[in-house]
Amino acid sequence: MKKEGFQPLAYIGFAAATLLTLTLCVCAGSVALPPLETLGVIGKAILGIAQEGARSAIILSVRLPRVLCVALSGAALALCGGVMQGLLRNPLADGSTLGVSAGASLGAVAAIAFGASVPFLRLAGTMAMAMLSATLSLGIILALSYRLDRSFSSHTIILIGIIYSMFVSGILSLLIAFSGEKLRTITYWTMGSLQGSTYLNAAALLAALLVFGGVMLFHARELNAFAVGEANARSVGVNVKRVRLLMLICASALIGVCVSIGGTIAFVGLVTPHILRLLTGPNHKKLLPATVFGGAIFLMLADLLARVIVSPLELPIGVVTSLIGAAVFTVILLRGRKGDAHA
Amino acid sequence: MLEVQDLSVRYGENQVVCGASFTVQSGEWLMITGPNGAGKSSMLSALMQGVPYTGGIRFEGENLQSMKPRRRALCMGLLAQRYASGYAFTVEEIVRLGRYAYHDALSGFDAADENAVAQALHETGTYELRSHPVSRISGGELQRAFLAQLFAQNPKLLLLDEPSSHLDLAYQKQILTLISGWLRQGGRAVISVMHDLAVARRFGTRVMLLHRGHIEADGAPEQALSPSLLSRVYGMDVEAWMQGLYGVWSD
């Protein structure tokens, strides 16, 4: 019988595709840069060799931190989507359907509107508020779900999540309406953008991905059992309540960090696991690692489109992911109806 | 093996199981039967710790409520009435999940696990189907795949929630025969919820008749399924109905 899990060759293939996309995205833009020169500049920077000139400044100060943030956000959001879809046994589950993204947005928008900040750490106020609000939202959603259904069934959680998202979008509209001179900042932010990202943002995203994403990847076997069914997961020995709570908390915290840095970026968490499930099958031991790489690639390409399609202007990345995501998702659903899709 | 004391299950104001007490010994196949809404599936869910309940459930003297889930899975496993995973796991992936309880978070599959999975696939006749997605096999094959998962899990007590109710006769026979064979291996017991009274009588070593959450009868199949008891519980002449159904086949 063949081995389960992601094989070394698959890791190498996905990692190579991710690095290739990253290089392409750093090279391409309003000023096109040769790949070899770009890699040389990055290599020298890693070795600590000082560099001067406009090109190295574009690569190291503008494009590289942004592309890194985009890749890490894509990986994190797609991973959260894959985990939620397995956990709740529902291919339509992700941060947005669960209400967590809306909750994180509420916290971040409130921080921008009321000027919440942490001294010397730009964005730290927004990040803290987004994480806090995402986790608090999860608490509210779980408390309401528990009140309705003591067994914490997935359907109840998703239903409450959708209702909560609608409620939060009303509050967001209210905040935006009264935001005065911050209207433009908040509106642009809610559409999602990673323009002006820094290495500090990338470090925060990497740390969150390593901690929360690591915990989620570690529970691939449990997620397989959940994806088959809660009763089956309980029967084979999974601690259903503990694992569900742990996964939801990790996903909420990770989404909170992503939202605080890049705003609301829709469809990455929904579409990427769908596409990759066609390639790897539903086994989370293969699907989740593939989703991490796939999410990074998907969002880097979407960000590249956002930068070049109406250059020198730039589209919000959330607009691009929504347009691509809706089209891809429709194709997947139509294929699924014909019985061709795996999920 | 299993000792249930004063078990009650309540959904809001509606009490569906009312103070049930019984024991199950090794070698027994206890058939729980009764009309719709009698509390059969709720009782099974409570045994699996799937719904909140009051009362005590002990397995070989150990309180099930305080037992760790992995340890509980080595004691008992559930075969549900119907599985409808939206994801196309292969038969082999489903069966491999049966070995979950044998590992902590860090240990991987070893040769013993591979052997147990292969043996379970062979015993249930699903070895040839092992690479098939569960979304593309028949209901009977799917039920055999999940039975293979239970065989790989190898608990001492099987809980079955109407395992053959939606299967055709050939698959019903396959599933029930496989379970009978498993039970004969010793040190094991089966509890199943069963609507089909003929199957309950044919395969059960003991029958529990439930009515509105109460145990109306619990004993040998011919006693618990006596015509007078059945008529009272079902509110109809069950004996005449069953003879009308099955009598034609003896002509």
Cβ burial of A42 (10 Å; 0-12, 13-18, 19+) is middle
**Encoding tokens for residue A180?**
């005065």
Coil/strand/helix, residue A129: helix
Contacts of B85 in chain A (CB under 8 A): 89, 227-229
Distance CA B49, CA B226 (A): 32
Name the closest residue on chain A to residue B152, using Cα atoms: A236
Has residue A339 got a pLDDT over 70? Answer: no
pLDDT band at A336 (very low <50, low <70, confident <90, very high): low
Residue from A4, A92, A150, A235 to probe the interface with B (highest B Cβ count within 10 Å): A235
Residues A342, B87: C-beta atoms closer than 8 Å: yes
Q: Does residue A241 fall inside a structural domain?
A: yes
Q: Does residue A3 fall inside a structural domain?
A: no
Has residue B82 got a pLDDT over 90? Answer: no
Has residue A118 got a pLDDT over 70? Answer: no
> What's the mean pLDDT when you consider all of chain A?
85
* Domain harbouring A200, CATH code: 1.10.3470.10
Q: Does residue A2 fall inside a structural domain?
A: no
pLDDT tens column, A172-203: 888 888 877 777 777 777 777 777 788 988 99
The pLDDT, as a whole number, for residue A301 is 94
Q: What average pLDDT does this structure show over A3-31?
A: 88
The pLDDT, as a whole number, for residue A342 is 43
Q: Does residue A195 fall inside a structural domain?
A: yes
Contacts of B117 in chain A (CB under 8 A): 1
Q: Minimal Cα–Cα distance from A296 to chain B, Å?
A: 24
Q: Does residue A318 fall inside a structural domain?
A: yes
- Domains of chain B: residue spans and CATH: 2-81+156-250 (3.40.50.300)
Residues B49, A283: C-beta atoms closer than 8 Å: no
pLDDT tens column, B158-191: 999 887 777 778 778 888 888 888 898 888 999 9
Residues A236, B77: C-beta atoms closer than 8 Å: yes
Domain of A329, in residue numbers: 8-337
Q: Does residue A1 fall inside a structural domain?
A: no
Other Cβ atoms within 10 Å of A17 Cβ, number: 14
Query: How many CB pairs below 8 Å do chains A and B form together?
Result: 98
Q: Does residue A41 fall inside a structural domain?
A: yes
Q: Point out the residue among A221, A234, A283 whose CB comes nearest to the CB of B50.
A: A234
What is the number of structural domains in chain A?
Answer: 1
Q: Point out the residue among B101, B118, B146 whose CB comes nearest to the CB of A237.
A: B101
**Residue in the structure block whose two tokens are 């009515």:** B211
Name the closest residue on chain B to residue A226, using Cα atoms: B85
Q: Minimal Cα–Cα distance from A147 to chain B, Å?
A: 11
Contacts of A282 in chain B (CB under 8 A): 87-89
What are the helix (H) ranges across chain B?
A: 40-47, 69-75, 91-96, 111-123, 139-153, 169-183, 197-203, 221-224, 227-234, 238-246
Q: Does residue A80 fall inside a structural domain?
A: yes
